[in-house]
Amino acid sequence: MKRSHHLLAVVGVIALLLFPLGVGNPYYIHLLETIMIYAILLFGLDIVVGYTGQVSLGHAGLFGVGAYTAGVLVIKLGAPLLVALIAAIGVTAVFGAILALPALRVTGPYLAMVTLAFGTIVQILINEMDWLTNGPMGIKLEKPSLLGHKLDEREFFWLVAVLLVLSLIVVHRVLRSHLGRAFEALRGSPVASDCMGVSVYRYKVYAFVISAGFAGLAGSLYAYSEQYISPNSYNFELTVLFLLAVIMGGRKSRIGSMVGATIIVLLPKLLDDIETFRYVSVALAVLVIATTVFGIQKGRVTAKQMAVPVVGSIALAGLSFWLHTMTDWRLSIFGVIMLFVVYYLQDGIVGFVRSAPNLAKPKPEAQVAGASLAGGDAVATSAASGSSEILKADGVLMQFGGLKALNNVSLSIKRGTIHGLIGPNGSGKSTMMNVLTGIYQPTAGSVSFSGRSVVGCTSSDIALSGIARTFQNVQLFGEMTALQNVQVGLHHTFDSNLLDVAVHTPRYRRESKAAVDRAMGLLQFVGLADLTFEEARNLPYGKQRLLEIARALALDPQLLLLDEPAAGLTAPDIKELISFIRKIRDHGITVILIEHHMDVVMSMCDTVSVLDFGQKIAEGAPAAVQADEKVIEAYLGGTAA
Amino acid sequence: MSADTKMLTITNLYAGYGKVQVLHGISIDVSKGKVVTLIGSNGAGKTTTMRAVSGMITPTAGEITLNGKRIEGMESYHIAKLGLAHSPEGRRVFATMTVTDNLTLGAFPRLTGSRPKGDVAGDLERALELFPRLKERRMQLAGTLSGGEQQMLAMARAVMLNPEVVLLDEPSMGLAPILVAEVFRIIERLKSEGVTMLLVEQFAAAALGVADYGYVLENGRISVHGPADKLRNDPSVKAAYLGGGTSH
């Protein structure tokens, strides 16, 4: 973080800690305390919603599990504060793992329904399990003691503030580590995650578990804060509010979580009373008009674009003076404001501020400048061990319904060679790639890599055993930078666990530094060094293909599968591509190349196999294949180069 | 080409994505019935130009005129109604609909816009005659077609608009050599029927072979332009863009 940011953070924390001293009114202290507790939960929810891109409507349920774990431990066993907090985190994390199970099978609206059901079931269980939870009567408890001293309202506030800051640091560190990159990669492209050795299965569960841990911590603090918990608190409305808070504040942002928490706690209060509402609506209208005038002057927005927000905010202010009481209108106005924010600020408030003029997102820090490489390039050399045959596919049959996409295909790939795989569109080349990397399980036949069978292994296991690939239709992690994309490929170089990441142990620092250096080196190798911090989705198509190769090389593969690397490249780019594929081969890495550009295939490959309608129709040296009658008829045509 | 009717005029166009500026003031003219090609290396801004013309992105400055009407900054669907067809990079056919439905949808902007509606059913038959492989598969779902057939469908769908101008972005990408030749034959055929086209192609030599006029894009600026046969023999263009590619 930049120094100014550090300073700002320190000032913020000090202001937070001084707040109860300056403001004596316990009502306001409790309000801010609630905001902080919600913020802790939202940090966790943002991991699931913002980073892995899953929808969870079960977080109110998890919040309730945390609250009741603490509550039950305190009233039944008289557990001390620390025990209650740690137990709440642990128990809720287990429930998080349960909540993750449906996420492994379904996504989108289906997942929303399942997690919603989870939340409802938790609420019902709390209500019904009288013997444990006191049922609808709820649980009363007192402010806890710490080190033999009973905390008062103000001291408990400080405890929550300290835990908020700690949560913030831990979440921030996790999300900026290899774990956070793995979560984000799941959202960008699950299939590419698996093929980079980042098991989608494991990291989805991991994300839910960590997320639930924070929900548990927040829930237990909430129980102490309110001093009374009942099943009705953890209802559907709360879960929707949590989700709204993440969206309105801005996903993938800790500040966004805090802003979101503030909105969902304060907005209903501001609407309680007509006087306050008048102030707020007039302030909002002034703010919108000022932004519009400023924006139009700078030429960033047109009057037409801003018409609706301006008219809307003025109408809201007008309404506030026309109304005499709030009670009948409160919920409607709350709803309208929500709708307005979600519609106009789709990236949330933080996203809006970042994109606003003169408040551009700060450039990523220069911690990576001057990545030094000890001689040569960053591509790891693959040791030529074992037999000369690196991959053997025997009688592979891949059947989709009645269609035989691969019909009894056998391939033998020699170590250290470039093996071409060509054939008409739809002949089964990409299907073969998917069989080799475990995305498809073949209907029959065997595939062995370095003497071990890979049939039945998961994609991520196969990737970790040394087969890396690129994709015909580029599968990058779009919202991540070029550097981060390659770092996902380097996931396998990390041994650090959650604790290492949270406290930044020397091991984690060492691994993290090494990964950045390697990634920079690999970007340099494919010629993308000047685009290191550009988001992958903003790169032109050809550069995206190069980035995929860099990411695949990060796996330190023995075998690299390239699926149409030259598609969409112009002649000079292709020359460059040829030269660095040769360099890759010179590192002892075996390459299987699917390509339609015959000049590429013919100039580089040692052996070429030709597929047509799922069957191998020819195989041999490039020149021989090129002259083969069947190949000319099916694939090359009369005019091939 | 000044004496011809200008179908598409791009003047001093600036465009990009977010804070990344890709095009730095390019100007291109496409005359009626002509084929114009855009050549350049990766990231030069070819696809960005296409996207700005068809309204998929909003240009930051400059003018685009289609058949006398200013279209820059308009919504894509509106530009399509004015007669601009875009066959995008990566095909983008409607995978879960049949070939016939894809083609009929290509004519949709004719039915809702102010241009003459014409005979959609007749044009459908003509498009299928032009692409016999599609005719064989007219009831098949587009997603089940092979890559080459999908590319033909994307081109045929663009033609179904009865367009004033067709933008063809990388029509041969990812196709087997035998199909690349086929795609260029189809472009020739469309040209002979008087279709105006702006073509972006990885096979620059082949593109210049079919085009009347060419522009070379370098880092978002036009570096050279001229009649296609002249560009084809320009030593600097040859060295930078034509060497090594598959020729036809």
CA angle B168, A538, A253 (to 5 degrees): 145
Distance from CA of A629 to the nearest CA of B (A): 14
CA atoms within 13 A on the CB side of A568: 24
| Contacts of B157 by beta carbon, 8 Å cutoff, 6+ apart | B85, B87, B93, B102, B103, B105, B106
Q: List pLDDT tens digits, range B197-216.
A: 999 998 888 999 999 999 99
Per the document, the length of chain B is 248
More confident residue, B48 or B20: B48
Domain spans in chain A, listed from the N-terminal domain onward: 44-234, 275-355, 388-466+557-641
Q: Would an 8 Å CB–CB cutoff place A568 in contact with chain B?
A: yes
pLDDT at position A385: 60
Q: Is the dihedral of CA A528, A529, A531, A534 positive or negative?
A: positive
Single-letter residue type at A34 = T
Q: Which residues are paired to B35 by β-bridges?
A: B197
The tokens for B187 are 């472009």
Dump the DSSP string for A88-103: HHHHHHHHHHHHHHHH
Across the range A43-50, mean pLDDT stands at 94
Q: Is the dihedral of CA A559, A565, A571, A577 positive or negative?
A: negative
Proportion of chain A above pLDDT 90, given as a percent: 53
The tokens for A541 are 């198509």
Single-letter residue type at A476 = L
Q: Which residue has the tokens 């699950």?
A: A190
Structural element, H or E, at residue B69:
strand B69-70
Subunit contact A543:B170, Cβ cutoff 8 A: no
Q: Would an 8 Å CB–CB cutoff place B213 in contact with chain A?
A: no
User: For B246, which of A541, A569, A598 is closest by C-beta distance?
Assistant: A598
Q: Would an 8 Å CB–CB cutoff place A634 in contact with chain B?
A: yes
For B172, the closest chain A residue by CA position comes to: A568
Average pLDDT over chain A, rounded to an integer = 87
Closest alpha carbon to B159 in B125, B133, B136, B185: B125
Q: Which residues are paired to A394 by β-bridges?
A: A446
Subunit contact B246:A597, Cβ cutoff 8 A: yes
Cβ contacts of A541 on chain B, cutoff 8 Å: 42, 47, 89
Q: pLDDT class for A638, splitting at 50, 70, 90? A: low
Distance from CA of A570 to the nearest CA of B (A): 5
- In order of start, what are the domains of chain B with their CATH numbers? 6-242 (3.40.50.300)
Closest alpha carbon to B168 in B136, B147, B146, B191: B191
Whether residue A362 has pLDDT greater than 70: no
Distance from CA of A640 to the nearest CA of B (A): 6
Q: Would an 8 Å CB–CB cutoff place B43 in contact with chain A?
A: yes
Q: pLDDT class for A372, splitting at 50, 70, 90? A: very low
Distance from CA of A145 to the nearest CA of B (A): 53
Q: Would an 8 Å CB–CB cutoff place A574 in contact with chain B?
A: yes
Across the range B159-185, mean pLDDT stands at 90
Subunit contact A542:B42, Cβ cutoff 8 A: yes
The tokens for B8 are 């598409």
Subunit contact B246:A640, Cβ cutoff 8 A: yes
Direct distance between the N- and C-terminal alpha carbons of chain B, in angstroms, rounded to an integer? 26
Q: Is the dihedral of CA B104, B107, B108, B111 positive or negative?
A: negative
Q: Would an 8 Å CB–CB cutoff place B246 in contact with chain A?
A: yes
Cβ contacts of A473 on chain B, cutoff 8 Å: 90
Q: pLDDT class for A556, splitting at 50, 70, 90? A: very high
Q: Which residue has the tokens 């939960």?
A: A41
Across the range A384-403, mean pLDDT stands at 83
Whether residue A369 has pLDDT greater than 80: no
Enter the DSSP assignment of A388: S
CA distance A577 to A558: 19
CA distance A636 to A630: 9
Distance from CA of A184 to the nearest CA of B (A): 21
Across the range A340-349, mean pLDDT stands at 78
Q: List pLDDT tens digits, range A252-268.
A: 889 999 999 998 898 88
Subunit contact A538:B20, Cβ cutoff 8 A: yes
Single-letter residue type at A350 = V
| Contacts of A27 by beta carbon, 8 Å cutoff, 6+ apart | none
Cβ contacts of A563 on chain B, cutoff 8 Å: none
Instruction: Give the distance, in angstroms, between the CA of residue A1 and the centroid of all CA atoms in the same chain.
Output: 21
Whether residue A531 has pLDDT greater than 80: yes
CA distances to A6, A380, A556 from A508, rounded to whole Å, are 22, 21, 20
CA distance B200 to B50: 9
Subunit contact A568:B148, Cβ cutoff 8 A: no
Q: Would an 8 Å CB–CB cutoff place A570 in contact with chain B?
A: yes
Domain A388-466+557-641 of CATH type 3.40.50.1100: no
Tally C-beta pairs within 8 A across A and B. Answer: 103
pLDDT at position A150: 86
For A463, phi then psi, to 5°, come to: -60, -45
Per the document, the length of chain A is 641
Single-letter residue type at A77 = L
Closest alpha carbon to A243 in A492, A474, A59, A470: A59
User: For A543, which of B42, B146, B247 is closest by C-beta distance?
Assistant: B42
Cα dihedral A368/A374/A378/A384 (nearest 10): -150
User: For A596, which of B47, B174, B240 is closest by C-beta distance?
Assistant: B174
pLDDT at position A574: 86
Least confident range of A103-112, A325-334, B167-176? A325-334
Q: Would an 8 Å CB–CB cutoff place B40 in contact with chain A?
A: yes
Across the range A34-58, mean pLDDT stands at 94
CA distance B229 to A66: 75
Enter the DSSP assignment of A367: G
| Contacts of A116 by beta carbon, 8 Å cutoff, 6+ apart | A57, A58, A236, A239
Q: Would an 8 Å CB–CB cutoff place B180 in contact with chain A?
A: yes
Whether residue A464 has pLDDT greater than 80: yes
User: For A637, which of B18, B173, B178 is closest by C-beta distance?
Assistant: B178
Least confident range of A562-576, A581-595, B159-173? A562-576
Cβ contacts of B37 on chain A, cutoff 8 Å: none
More confident residue, A495 or A370: A495
Q: List pLDDT tens digits, range A422-444.
A: 998 888 898 999 999 999 999 99
Subunit contact A570:B245, Cβ cutoff 8 A: yes
- Using DSSP's 3-state secondary structure scheme, residue A510 falls into helix
Structural element, H or E, at residue B80:
helix B76-81
Q: List pLDDT tens digits, range A114-164.
A: 999 999 999 999 999 988 888 888 899 888 888 888 888 889 999 999 999
Q: Would an 8 Å CB–CB cutoff place A370 in contact with chain B?
A: no
Q: Would an 8 Å CB–CB cutoff place A571 in contact with chain B?
A: yes
Subunit contact B47:A596, Cβ cutoff 8 A: no
pLDDT at position A387: 67
Subunit contact A541:B246, Cβ cutoff 8 A: no
pLDDT at position A338: 76
Average pLDDT over chain B, rounded to an integer = 88
User: For A426, which of B39, B146, B181 is closest by C-beta distance?
Assistant: B146
Burial class (CB in 10 A: 0-12, 13-18, 19+), A59: buried
User: For B202, which of A538, A568, A635 is closest by C-beta distance?
Assistant: A568
For A417, phi then psi, to 5°, come to: -110, 170
Q: Would an 8 Å CB–CB cutoff place B118 in contact with chain A?
A: no
Across the range A57-85, mean pLDDT stands at 93
Q: List pLDDT tens digits, range A217-227.
A: 999 999 999 99
Q: What is the ipTM of this complex?
A: 0.73
For B203, the closest chain A residue by CA position comes to: A570
Q: Would an 8 Å CB–CB cutoff place B184 in contact with chain A?
A: no
- Among left, alpha and beta (phi > 0; psi -120 to 50; other), residue A288 is alpha
Dump the DSSP string for A585-602: HHTT-EEEEE-S-HHHHH
Q: List pLDDT tens digits, range B74-127.
A: 999 999 999 999 998 877 899 899 999 999 999 998 888 788 888 889 999 989
Q: pLDDT class for B3, splitting at 50, 70, 90? A: low
Question: For an interface test with A, which of B202, B218, B232 has the most A Cβ atoms less than 10 Å from its Cβ?
Answer: B202
Distance from CA of A485 to the nearest CA of B (A): 19
Whether residue A360 has pLDDT greater than 60: no
